[in-house]
Structure 1
Amino acid sequence: MKCQKKILLISSVLITLIGLFIFIWFCVRGFFYEQFIIPTGIISLEKSSQFGDFIGGCCGALFALVGVLLLFETLRLQRTEISESRYVFKLQQFDNMFFNLLTLYNSIISSMQGKSFFTQKQQSIYQNFNQDGGRKIAKNAYLSFYAENEPNIAQYFRVLYQIFSLISHSKLNEEDKVRYAKIARAQLSKDEIFFLYYNANTIYGNKFRRYINEFNITKHLSILDKLEFKKYCVSLTNIENHLLHVAFFEIRKGIKECIKQNKEWYKTFLQGAIAIKCNKIDSFNIKFIVIRTLKEIPDDVQQGLGFNEFTPEQLSSLFYDFLVDVFLYSNFFLLNDKNTIITSRMTREATKITITYEVKNAKTNIRIV
């Protein structure tokens, strides 16, 4: 649209200049050469009429064309202004509904004794969860929580669902949709996102899954905060747990970058003691490599701190569970279905251990939100 406007304005200026040039050129010829423009003498009506006919037919047509072009631009600007006015009105209507739902959301939170309700419940579930339990046991732990708190929690999730459904189905542009989604997502605490994730893994939240993927609502949920990853956290300090969360968040972004931009992603942690590499083989095949060297780690290193607490076998299992979560469970099988297969193999050398993972799907493209 901006390019068309620029071309239209440049064309109008050029045509106007051409018309002025023709007019001036004939005036100069009439005064100096043809001599039908004589300010102090008798004017030749015949030559003057011919001159006027030419100027009117040629320059007049050019100036009329400029008028048509500028009229077209004026009408286009009017249409744009009308369209923008309608959009502003539509945005105001949406704004009222959106913030009314946020007010309702906050009133429900208040009736549940605030966000501390979720913090206390999350800590209780996490502490009582068997560290050897898998996803099925984690799901059952959430279902027990839901059964005990259904009156409040069911209404809470319904309102959250309506907020993101309203954004998704609105006629706003993508930029405004993302802006409102970020406002809504900013209302959620880490513990709320924890329960939202597990709710979406049950029949109670299956309709919510598409909005979680669309707006990446659970992007800031640490993978180590999930119940099924508790077995990896028991030997970690709080700072190690946090630094591993940062590392996995960066690795996830790297995988997404590798898939979208079709280029290799490479990152090292613990000053090269841990190296991560991701390659997109084709649309259906991703290769993910973890290299653990025997390099001594300095005491002042922080980035990736915590990886050094795992044996090679634990590290292999941790990254396998991480990839399964990233490509399958975090997307609720909506992006990469159950046909996606993740395999791993470990090779040992004198100075390093290499763990290679392959993510394959013969039916759909490998994707990640």
Structure 2
Amino acid sequence: MSAPKLKLSAYELTGYLLIIAGTIVLVWGTIKFNLLHELYLEPEQRKGNVFGEYGEFIGGIVGSLWALAGVFLFFATLTYQKNEFELQRIELHKTQRIYQQQNFSTLFISFISKHDEIISSLTAYDINNSAWSGTNFFVFFQEKVMSSFVQHVRTMAPAEKTPEHLSRVFQEYFIYHFQFYQSSLNPYLKNLSVLFKLIQRYRSEAQDEGEYYSFITKASFTQSELFLLYHVAQYKLLKEFESFHNTFDVFGDMAEEYKVEAIIATELP
């Protein structure tokens, strides 16, 4: 496995070049002033103040080059620290997001379990005193609404069967049956409402438009369950569901034939 290539910044490269240039000038000056020869001469044999001139040369040129190199290396260090802080910030954000997702996943699982528990507790009885429990409750509810509506419509004269009139009749029967089972349905609807609000809040805080929690929730809905939820939203019996549909497309997988518009159309003369 090859070692990673070292990439120098412009500041760092300039600083190193200035250090090399200062070193070259230092060596050149030592040779130029013949400093090694001057060291072995007696003081009276030396011509002028060679060491003083050499010191001025070093301080004026080499010292300036190395001081400038120090400035560039200082900026290079600041750049590296800035990049390091940015990487740490990104890693911290990732860690916070993972922690947030883990916490929400635990909360989501508890609400889904509660949702399934509430559905299991739903029970209705037909005229034969047979129990319709769990998801069959929604099937029974849908059949009650549909049979009441169809029986009423088929006793009407053809002239009465206008879309507006049929729409009012369907709404009346739906609300009537909904209110009859409302005490059983309230825990189910409230829990589902809180669940969608939590998902909405998580989506906003995590800035995750592609979160899969809403998809998991929607995947559990049966068509009969969607029949109930769709018309609860349609008739504003629970206002939140209208906004949930706009946000999560709750009724995207619902069959058109179960919607009030299609049901009415089949009964028009």
Match of 2:145 in 1: 125
Answer yes or no: is 1:86 the counterpart of 2:96. Answer: yes
Match of 2:167 in 1: 135
Whole-Å separation in 2 of the counterparts to 1:66 and 1:92: 39
Whole-Å separation in 2 of the counterparts to 1:178 and 1:78: 25
Whole-Å separation in 1 of the counterparts to 2:223 and 2:187: 19
Whole-Å separation in 1 of the counterparts to 2:266 and 2:22: 90
Whole-Å separation in 2 of the counterparts to 1:227 and 1:208: 16
Whole-Å separation in 2 of the counterparts to 1:80 and 1:148: 54
Answer yes or no: is 1:210 the counterpart of 2:203. Answer: no
Whole-Å separation in 2 of the counterparts to 1:23 and 1:182: 62
Please report how far the alpha carbon of residue 30 of structure 1 lies from its aligned counterpart in structure 2 after TM superposition. Answer: 5.4
Q: Greater helix percent: which structure?
A: 2
Q: Which moved more, 1:224-233 or 1:103-112?
A: 224-233
Whole-Å separation in 1 of the counterparts to 2:209 and 2:104: 11
Count the aligned residue pairs: 221
Equivalent pair of 1:15/1:63 in contact (CA under 8 Å):
yes
Whole-Å separation in 2 of the counterparts to 1:231 and 1:211: 25
Please report how far the alpha carbon of residue 161 of structure 1 lies from its aligned counterpart in structure 2 after TM superposition. Answer: 0.4
In structure 2, give the amino acid aligned to 1:91. Answer: Q
Answer yes or no: is 1:16 the counterpart of 2:12. Answer: yes
Answer yes or no: is 1:107 the counterpart of 2:98. Answer: no
Match of 1:62 in 2: 72
Q: Which one has the largest radius of gyration?
A: 2
In structure 2, give the amino acid aligned to 1:217. Answer: V
Whole-Å separation in 1 of the counterparts to 2:136 and 2:180: 17
Whole-Å separation in 2 of the counterparts to 1:42 and 1:136: 111
Answer yes or no: is 1:189 the counterpart of 2:209. Answer: no
Please report how far the alpha carbon of residue 60 of structure 1 lies from its aligned counterpart in structure 2 after TM superposition. Answer: 0.7
1:154 aligned to which of 186, 208, 219: 186
Q: TM-score, normalised by structure 2?
A: 0.69
Please report how far the alpha carbon of residue 177 of structure 1 lies from its aligned counterpart in structure 2 after TM superposition. Answer: 7.0
Please report how far the alpha carbon of residue 163 of structure 1 lies from its aligned counterpart in structure 2 after TM superposition. Answer: 0.3
Gaps of 5+ in 2: 1-6, 37-50, 123-132, 154-160
Match of 2:208 in 1: 175
Secondary structure of 1:172's aligned partner: helix
Please report how far the alpha carbon of residue 172 of structure 1 lies from its aligned counterpart in structure 2 after TM superposition. Answer: 2.7
In structure 2, give the amino acid aligned to 1:200. Answer: A
Whole-Å separation in 1 of the counterparts to 2:207 and 2:254: 24
User: In 2 relative to 1, CA 94–177 (structure 1 residues): closer, same or farther, beyond 3 Å?
Assistant: farther
Partner deviation per Cα, 1:281-318 (whole Å, 9 max, x = no partner): xxxxxxxxxxxxxxxxxxxxxxxxxxxxxxxxx9xxxx
Please report how far the alpha carbon of residue 81 of structure 1 lies from its aligned counterpart in structure 2 after TM superposition. Answer: 3.1
Whole-Å separation in 1 of the counterparts to 2:30 and 2:267: 102
Equivalent pair of 1:178/1:215 in contact (CA under 8 Å):
no
Partner deviation per Cα, 1:85-119 (whole Å, 9 max, x = no partner): 33333333322222111110000111222222223
Whole-Å separation in 2 of the counterparts to 1:234 and 1:55: 94
Q: Greater strand percent: which structure?
A: 1
Secondary structure of 2:251's aligned partner: coil
Equivalent pair of 1:168/1:177 in contact (CA under 8 Å):
no
Equivalent pair of 2:230/2:259 in contact (CA under 8 Å):
no
Equivalent pair of 1:167/1:177 in contact (CA under 8 Å):
no
Match of 2:45 in 1: none
Whole-Å separation in 1 of the counterparts to 2:221 and 2:264: 26
Whole-Å separation in 1 of the counterparts to 2:25 and 2:185: 90
Answer yes or no: is 1:164 the counterpart of 2:196. Answer: yes
